[in-house]
Amino acid sequence: METQTRPEFVVELTKKSVDLSRWYTEVILKGQLADYWQIHGFQVVRPYGFALWENIQAGLDARFKATGHKNAQFPLLLPESLLTKEAEHVEGFAPEVAWVTQAGKEELNERLAIRPTSEAIIMTMYSRWIDSWRDLPMLLNQWCSVLRWEKTTRFFLRTSEFMWQEGHTAHRSAEEAREETMRMLEIYRDFVEGELAIPVVPGRKSEAEKFAGAAETYTIESLMPDGQALQSATSHYFGDRFAKAFNITFQDMDGVRKHVHTTSWGLSWRIIGALIMVHGDDAGLILPPKVAPVQAVIVPIPGRGGEDGGVTEAVNAAERALRRQFRVEVDRSDRSPGWKFNEWEMRGVPLRIEIGPRDVRSGQAVLVRRDSREKSSAPLDGLVAAVEARLADVHAGLFARARALREERTSSVATVAELAATIREQPGFKMASWCGDAACEQTVKERTGATIRCLPFDSQGQTGACLVCGRPGPHRVLLARAY
Amino acid sequence: METQTRPEFVVELTKKSVDLSRWYTEVILKGQLADYWQIHGFQVVRPYGFALWENIQAGLDARFKATGHKNAQFPLLLPESLLTKEAEHVEGFAPEVAWVTQAGKEELNERLAIRPTSEAIIMTMYSRWIDSWRDLPMLLNQWCSVLRWEKTTRFFLRTSEFMWQEGHTAHRSAEEAREETMRMLEIYRDFVEGELAIPVVPGRKSEAEKFAGAAETYTIESLMPDGQALQSATSHYFGDRFAKAFNITFQDMDGVRKHVHTTSWGLSWRIIGALIMVHGDDAGLILPPKVAPVQAVIVPIPGRGGEDGGVTEAVNAAERALRRQFRVEVDRSDRSPGWKFNEWEMRGVPLRIEIGPRDVRSGQAVLVRRDSREKSSAPLDGLVAAVEARLADVHAGLFARARALREERTSSVATVAELAATIREQPGFKMASWCGDAACEQTVKERTGATIRCLPFDSQGQTGACLVCGRPGPHRVLLARAY
């Protein structure tokens, strides 16, 4: 096979296992996912990276719509006086807000904030739109970019401007709003695990780690290969706090005017950073098949002395057949097969299909999985089924590998001293018992750099001694350093 | 029929024929397409309005992708020094730019502009990304919002922040770039006429009416019911002007380094303003079927004394059958049928389906077209085909009516005096001959308020006497007052 004689995999790429951070930046630039912009902390998302986001958007949007949500578009700017209406909320965002102070040649009377999130904007509109129980629930979502001025930034993971979706809903009762909060968290969990092949731990945030202004925050946490956690999506229950700050009331069926109960939930393009880090390897990106911009690349293999041997026709036929169901590319460029193999591996295409004169003679194609490099043959007239099966294999393979790595890097600790030692030597997820006291939480953070990522749903009910004070700890918590 | 006894159509709505401007604002607010925001010139787009935009976006995006374009995401902000790089371009936008001068608690060293358009941003990236003829053509598009501070604003038609798409392409040759410019204009024409049922006049802009920095600007112009023109989409050829300002060169196949030739083209949500004005009537909105958020609404008609008479089952079956192919709603609320008829007519749903006990007994449903109010029957087990046919009828009906109105309001004028008189008395499209002199163009504008909307492609080659100076006019121009 040609693969035996090809040059080493993209030799100029830093090895992921050696320097994750440098590898991460390199695969993003070389893989043409994104590029730098002239303003610190801003990025340009190139077509290959943006197609990934479009596929993520399409998958989530369909789930949102299937559960009754509708999209709307709210403005980019809000007056300073509005942002400051909910005190705890503004306190959380004030240091990160970009301010518009001039328009054309005029100085504005009041500074306008570029939205760091849209709670204040949307709640203002809800107070106009909601009047009766008939108007509820109000289930809106917005796809947009928001801006939070960041000092230390990284492609996708932390950018001053980032794209996300933010869902904002209003309900008749606390119970219904809580159900919504959990429904959306479960949609995120299902999507991130089922489509992006990233295993996550769903749970509740501690008081200290909650979203600014929320009554309860829920999260899904994933583990990066360097042992750091990444908050992958959040869902917030606000109670009637925003409803009171923004005066959102409705006349209920019993004739009484009541405050609504609200939620919000969001997932941003940082999830792209997560999937790059979780799945990639020393040869480059590995994109999860369900959202990969190119799911399979066909590489025609020229015969000795340039004979065609029916390859052109077989490649065209394969492309036609596959295009109906998959996002497929044919690399017809004049590069060598070895160059193409490296290039498309580096760019993370989940499946490569090689078709040469020998393959045409035997009526077969060679399929190569990106994750395991496992090769198999498939009949040229049965490619659709074979590609479908292999892509499912790649998805399952990626998920299993990520879960195994996470399990390997998840352990229990009994004390803060033990946490401090192990988090340095074996970074990863650490489970411990916690009394629930904010002071103990603060001690953990100061002494170890780790934070309570969440109170995992499936670990509650287990009690033990608090890792700091030793008192009985009713909470089982997931600890890690975090992105 | 129930329709005989129902109250008058939405009596509280201003008549379109009496006060177009007021009617326009009312149908947008009552129809829940959009709402005001606290900052002058900004709007909130509500789910019903945004679904219209999503459908427009989906239709255009598919056409862009079918012609080889890819989406990308460029940043919201650009440094002042970058915006000023192409002199004529910045001059066109300077008075409308919103400036960020503070971030967090810091004053910025250099003002940052919120993009009024992304030429300067994208050309900067093209100078990084383009190196060889192999990189060309580069065919990118972006869906985003841009900001131009406006004094006089109206929902959708003129808003300080507006959503649009902006395509930006780079090519090896002037010829190829010109082909692209015309290809995209034709896509707009085809889409706006074929999907939105708005007839347009495609043509070239005069020098005075060109986009800031463009070598040539092309447009599609539509006519509003008050006789004013609306520029509905534009496509620009820049030559190598931006390539020179931003230093975008490539090594051609002959080994020589050359400047690329660029284009840009855009359509914004102002097209929603156009379709509202062109199609609506005294009873409210009429949304073109191919992009209507709700294409058909089913209204169950209760029997005398509340008997169900199989209506619930028939309605459920109809919904299931239609939902596979159409965007359909069932109004199961406790309002009266008459109220529902008015409400859904006001909101512009192209087709109403009434199902009552008598209809169930005869195995039929009553279909009512929104545009003509024409009623017809269709068998309950053949609804899909009937709805498909009626929606096509509505589309054809809307287009024919709009074209007839335009033809009725298009006439020729020989002199600027004649133009001044007729544009006041019979506002509309006026065709005239023009010598090509900018001074004559300026005279027309000053004396009549009308501008040259375009040099229509299909009218060139006709000569006559210039409407101002009387010299031989090689150009046949379309004149109108404009939004």
pLDDT digits (tens, 9 = 90+) for A18-51: 999 999 999 999 999 999 999 999 999 999 999 9
DSSP state of A186: H
Listed by number, the residues of chain B in 16-45 with a beta carbon closer than 8 Å to a beta carbon of chain A are 35, 37-39, 42-45
User: Does A105 contact B at CB distance below 8 Å?
Assistant: yes
Closest CA to A336 of A13, A7, A48: A7
What percent of chain B stands above pLDDT 70?
A: 98
Residue B6: predicted pLDDT: 40
Residue B11: predicted pLDDT: 53
**Superfamily of domain A20-279 in the CATH hierarchy:** Bira Bifunctional Protein; Domain 2 (3.30.930.10)
In angstroms, the CA B41 to CA A256 distance is: 36
Residue B5 binned pLDDT confidence (cut-offs 50, 70, 90): very low
Q: Which residue has the tokens 């209920």?
A: A252
Mean confidence (pLDDT) of chain B? 95
The CATH class of the A410-480 domain is alpha beta
CB A166 within 8 A of CB A118: yes
Name the packing angle between helices B174-194 and B47-66 (round to 10°): 140
In angstroms, the CA B168 to CA B287 distance is: 30
CB B364 within 8 A of CB B331: no
User: Does B77 contact A at CB distance below 8 Å?
Assistant: yes
Rounded to the nearest angstrom, the minimum Cα separation between A218 and chain B is 27
In angstroms, the CA B342 to CA B7 distance is: 9
Mean pLDDT of A425-449: 96
Residue B94: predicted pLDDT: 81
Closest CA to B176 of B262, B67, B71, B254: B262
In angstroms, the CA A403 to CA B418 distance is: 79
A110 CB burial (10 A radius; 0-12, 13-18, 19+): exposed
DSSP state of A458: G
Q: Which residue has the tokens 């999260």?
A: A219
Rounded to 5 degrees, what angle do the CA atoms A326, A328, A329 make?
Answer: 170
Closest CA to A45 of A151, A164, A165, A220: A164
A7-21, B77-91, B304-318: which range is least confident on average? A7-21
- Residue A346: helix, strand or coil by DSSP? helix
Amino acid at A144: C
Rounded to the nearest angstrom, the minimum Cα separation between B404 and chain A is 35
- Residue B54: helix, strand or coil by DSSP? helix
Identify the bridge partners of residue B73 per DSSP, sorted by sequence position.
A45
CB A275 within 8 A of CB A323: no
In angstroms, the CA B324 to CA B319 distance is: 9
Residue A226: predicted pLDDT: 95
Would you state the structure tokens that stand for residue B401, as one six-digit string? 């009516």
The residue among A50 and A459 whose pLDDT is bigger is A50
Would you state the structure tokens that stand for residue A474, as one six-digit string? 């009713």
- Which residue stretches of B324-382 are H helix? 337-346, 357-362
Query: In this predicted complex, what is the ipTM?
Result: 0.94
User: Does A124 contact B at CB distance below 8 Å?
Assistant: yes
A:B CB pairs within 8 Å: 145
Q: Which residue has the tokens 């004739």?
A: A255
| Cβ-based neighbours of A390, under 8 Å, separated by 6 or more | A351, A367, A369, A376
Residues of A in contact with B74 (CB under 8 A): 44-45
Would you state the structure tokens that stand for residue A252, as one six-digit string? 């209920």
Cβ distance A54 to B71 less than 8 Å, yes or no, reads yes
Mean pLDDT of B93-109: 92
| Number of alpha carbons in the 13 Å side-chain half-sphere of residue B404 | 7
pLDDT digits (tens, 9 = 90+) for A361-401: 999 999 999 999 999 999 999 999 999 999 999 999 999 99
Cβ distance A102 to B104 less than 8 Å, yes or no, reads no
Residues of B in contact with A99 (CB under 8 A): 100-103
In angstroms, the CA B447 to CA B455 distance is: 20
Rounded to the nearest angstrom, the minimum Cα separation between B97 and chain A is 5
Residue B95: predicted pLDDT: 85
Find the CB nearest A75 among B37, B73, B149. B37
| Backbone phi, psi, residue B439, to 5° | -65, -40
Listed by number, the residues of chain A in 415-474 with a beta carbon closer than 8 Å to a beta carbon of chain B are none
Residue B12: predicted pLDDT: 82
The CATH class of the A2-8+291-392 domain is alpha beta
Cβ distance A145 to B76 less than 8 Å, yes or no, reads yes
DSSP state of B94: G
Mean pLDDT of A187-198: 98
Cβ distance A101 to B102 less than 8 Å, yes or no, reads yes
Upstream peptide bond of A137 is cis (omega within 30 degrees of 0): yes
Closest CA to A346 of A3, A32, A62: A32
pLDDT digits (tens, 9 = 90+) for B250-303: 999 999 999 999 999 999 999 999 999 999 999 999 999 999 999 999 999 998
In angstroms, the CA A146 to CA B223 distance is: 37
Closest CA to B438 of B428, B452, B449: B452
In angstroms, the CA A16 to CA A25 distance is: 11
To 10 degrees, the CA torsion angle through B117, B121, B123, B125?
Answer: -150
- Residue B182: helix, strand or coil by DSSP? helix
Cα–Cα distances in Å, from A369 out to A274, A366, A376, A387, B16? 21, 10, 9, 10, 62
In angstroms, the CA B469 to CA B46 distance is: 50
Residues of B in contact with A161 (CB under 8 A): 75-77
Residue B259: predicted pLDDT: 98
Q: Which residue has the tokens 């900018």?
A: B438
DSSP-derived pairing of the beta strands B328-330 and B296-300: parallel
Inform me whether the pLDDT recorded for B1 exceeds 70.
no
Inform me whether the pLDDT recorded for B89 exceeds 80.
no
For residue B138, give the H/E element and its range. Answer: strand B138-147
Q: How many CB atoms within 10 Å of residue A54?
A: 18
Q: Which residue has the tokens 């335009």?
A: B406
In angstroms, the CA A88 to CA A215 distance is: 11
Residues of B in contact with A145 (CB under 8 A): 73, 76
Mutate to test the interface with B, among A32, A35, A39 (most CBs of B within 10 A): A39
In angstroms, the CA A415 to CA A399 distance is: 32
Predicted TM-score of the model (pTM): 0.94
Rounded to the nearest angstrom, the minimum Cα separation between A312 and chain B is 21
Mean confidence (pLDDT) of chain A? 94
pLDDT digits (tens, 9 = 90+) for B189-239: 999 999 999 999 999 999 999 998 899 999 999 999 999 999 999 999 999
In angstroms, the CA B166 to CA B122 distance is: 10
Would you state the structure tokens that stand for residue B319, as one six-digit string? 């919904």
pLDDT digits (tens, 9 = 90+) for B338-385: 999 999 999 999 999 999 999 999 999 999 999 999 999 999 999 999
In angstroms, the CA A369 to CA A375 distance is: 7
Q: How many CB atoms within 10 Å of residue A458?
A: 10
Closest CA to B272 of B344, B328, B196, B200: B196
Mean pLDDT of B21-27: 97
**Superfamily of domain B291-393 in the CATH hierarchy:** Anticodon-binding domain (3.40.50.800)
- Total count of residues recorded for chain A: 483
Q: Which residue has the tokens 């968290």?
A: A185
Listed by number, the residues of chain A in 140-169 with a beta carbon closer than 8 Å to a beta carbon of chain B are 140, 145, 147, 149, 161, 163
Specify the domain boundaries for CATH 3.40.50.800 within chain B: 291-393
- Which residue stretches of B280-347 are H helix? 311-323, 337-346
Rounded to the nearest angstrom, the minimum Cα separation between B13 and chain A is 20
Inform me whether the pLDDT recorded for B87 exceeds 80.
no
Inform me whether the pLDDT recorded for B9 exceeds 80.
no
Find the CB nearest B75 among A37, A76, A82. A37
Residue B166: predicted pLDDT: 98
Residues of A in contact with B333 (CB under 8 A): 134
Specify the domain boundaries for CATH 3.30.110.30 within chain B: 410-480
pLDDT digits (tens, 9 = 90+) for A227-255: 999 999 999 999 999 999 999 999 999 99
CB B52 within 8 A of CB B293: yes
Residue B93: predicted pLDDT: 82
Specify the domain boundaries for CATH 3.40.50.800 within chain A: 2-8+291-392
Closest CA to A384 of A330, A317, A315, A321: A321
What percent of chain A stands above pLDDT 90?
A: 90
Mutate to test the interface with A, among B39, B84, B85, B121 (most CBs of A within 10 A): B39
Q: How many CB atoms within 10 Å of residue B242?
A: 31
pLDDT digits (tens, 9 = 90+) for A76-132: 999 999 998 877 777 878 889 999 999 988 999 999 999 999 999 999 999 999 999
| Backbone phi, psi, residue A94, to 5° | -50, -45
* Cα B387 from chain centre: 26
- Total count of residues recorded for chain B: 483
Inform me whether the pLDDT recorded for A332 exceeds 60.
yes
Cβ distance B114 to A112 less than 8 Å, yes or no, reads no
One-character DSSP codes across B281-306: BTTB----TTT-SSSEEEEE---GGG
CB A46 within 8 A of CB B138: no
Closest CA to A102 of B100, B370, B283: B100
Residue A11: predicted pLDDT: 53
